[in-house]
Amino acid sequence: MKSMDAEHKDKKMAGQLFIVATPIGNLGDITYRAVETLKQVDLIAAEDTRISCRLLAHYGIDTPMISHHEHNEEAAGKKILAKINAGTNIALISDAGTPLISDPGYRLVRLLRENDIEVVPIPGPSSPIAALSVSGLPTDSFTFLGFLPRSGQARQNILQQIAQASCTQVLLESPKRLPRTLEDMEKTCGPDREVCMARELTKLYEEVVHGSLRQVRAHMDAGRLRGEIVLIVSPAPARDITDEEIIDCLRRTDASELTPSARAKKVAKQLGISRSRVYELLLSDK
């Protein structure tokens, strides 16, 4: 196969995997490099070939496709590794946006890295980043949470984390679950917490709504929700954090997989306070 990019053209290897970002709605958002890569690779691994074939047809790309999704990830990963070792160059794409961002794929990338296979990013659209860029909320530090747990203590823990977060929080949500999520957030964060709700980004019915949780909930109640949704939540207002709050947060942080120092660092970041203060309380609470 000929070069994808000047920096790779002289490298001799068994094969490569290209992580290719595709449009999240508007087909015009794909990059020249992405189109060139998809035309030149030997094979495309797609999350849903039925969806991806529309994009490929639009750009006259006739590269063969195979399926790679969360239900066949282990088996497909082994086949992809074998093909790359045999000299095949493969592009990985998701249904929309940047692969691996709340999409399957990281196990495949890890497998290839463990086998010394080069993995090349072909960057492009990403709905969380697109929403963040128009949110008007702080972007110097943010946490991407993906989809919230649907129920149970895990959901409550994340909601509490959002309520106390010292940086902007970025979530994905479905139209069906958004009303409940907004209601739960209003209870834990308060009705005046500033948020931005972005849906159908780059598509015909694109909508970006800014306001307090109370205001966005009222807007959402006014009509039927459709389309993919990104929810951006502003940082918690600055306030004094009590020792009791720190200890409570420490106790809710899994101690089985983290060292005391790592726990203290994680909680300090969540609450926006110094690690040394958290570490002192962690030692005294034993």
Q: What is the pLDDT of residues 100-109, one digit of tens each?
A: 998 889 999 9
Cβ pair 85, 116 in contact under 8 A: no
Please state which of the ranges 3-12, 70-79, 112-121, 254-263 shows the lowest mean pLDDT.
3-12
Rounded mean pLDDT of 90-102?
95
Residue type, 122: I
Beta-bridge mates of residue 46: 67, 93
The more confident residue out of 88 and 240 is 88
Classify residue 22 by its DSSP letter: B
Residue 258 has pLDDT above 60, yes or no: yes
Give the pTM.
Answer: 0.77
Whether 16-125 shares its CATH topology with 128-233 is answered: no
Residue 6 has pLDDT above 70, yes or no: no
Residue 281's Cβ-count burial label (10 Å; 0-12, 13-18, 19+) is middle
Domain boundaries, the chain: 16-125, 128-233, 243-284
pLDDT tens sequence across 275-285: 899 999 888 87
Residue 223 has pLDDT above 90, yes or no: no
Identify the band that residue 4 occupies on the pLDDT scale cut at 50, 70 and 90.
low
Taking all residues of the chain, what is their mean pLDDT, rounded to a whole number? 90
Q: Name the CATH code of domain 16-125 (choices 3.20.20.140, 3.90.850.10, 3.40.718.10, 3.40.1010.10).
A: 3.40.1010.10
Q: Which secondary structure element, helix H or strand E, spans residue 199, and what is its range?
A: strand 194-199
At the second CATH level, the architecture of 128-233 is 2-Layer Sandwich (3.30)
Residue 2 has pLDDT above 90, yes or no: no
Looking at 44-126, list the stretches that DSSP marks H as alpha helix, in order from N- to C-terminal side. 49-58, 73-85, 106-114
pLDDT at residue 3, rounded to an integer: 55
Residue 61 has pLDDT above 90, yes or no: yes
pLDDT at residue 12, rounded to an integer: 54
pLDDT at residue 24, rounded to an integer: 95
